[in-house]
Structure 1
Amino acid sequence: MIAEFARRHNPVLKHQFERIKNGNKKRHKLANIAIANKIARYIYSIMKNKSSFVILHDHIMRLPKETRDTFFNSISLDFS
């Protein structure tokens, strides 16, 4: 369920999901499992290193233009 939510609301993971699924209905479950594994690796790394989750600019710039636009429009830059 976490992978499905992340796929819908995170443009970076959505792009990876679409790349793995590649338009094939039968690969939906496979793509969902790949996203769940990626999230698990993120969580493990954050807990192991006691650090924050950071998305690097160069990783975002590798994404297609519409995904980048969605990402940059969805973030807030309100730093306290």
Structure 2
Amino acid sequence: MISNNILKVLGETIKQRRTTLKISQEKYAELCNVHRTYISQIERGLKNVSVKVLFSLAENLNTTPSELIKEVEQQLESKKE
């Protein structure tokens, strides 16, 4: 079972990158071809994403899925310490 903490950290990471790029949730959702409420749920750690959606989310943040996951792993490790 996927920990809610992982989803929360992934959502926070996505939100931070999106806001750094000054992209609204609405515009980001449009770029990723998903609904704005889905982006909101992802960013709040309420929804798990498919691999297909993860690739789209990463691409529209000018990064790769592996870089997003790496950042999530680093955040989770730092919270353990």
- TM-score normalised over the length of structure 1: 0.31
Tell which has more relative contact order, 1 or 2 (C-alpha 8 A, sep 6+): 2
Larger radius of gyration: 1
- TM-score normalised over the length of structure 2: 0.31
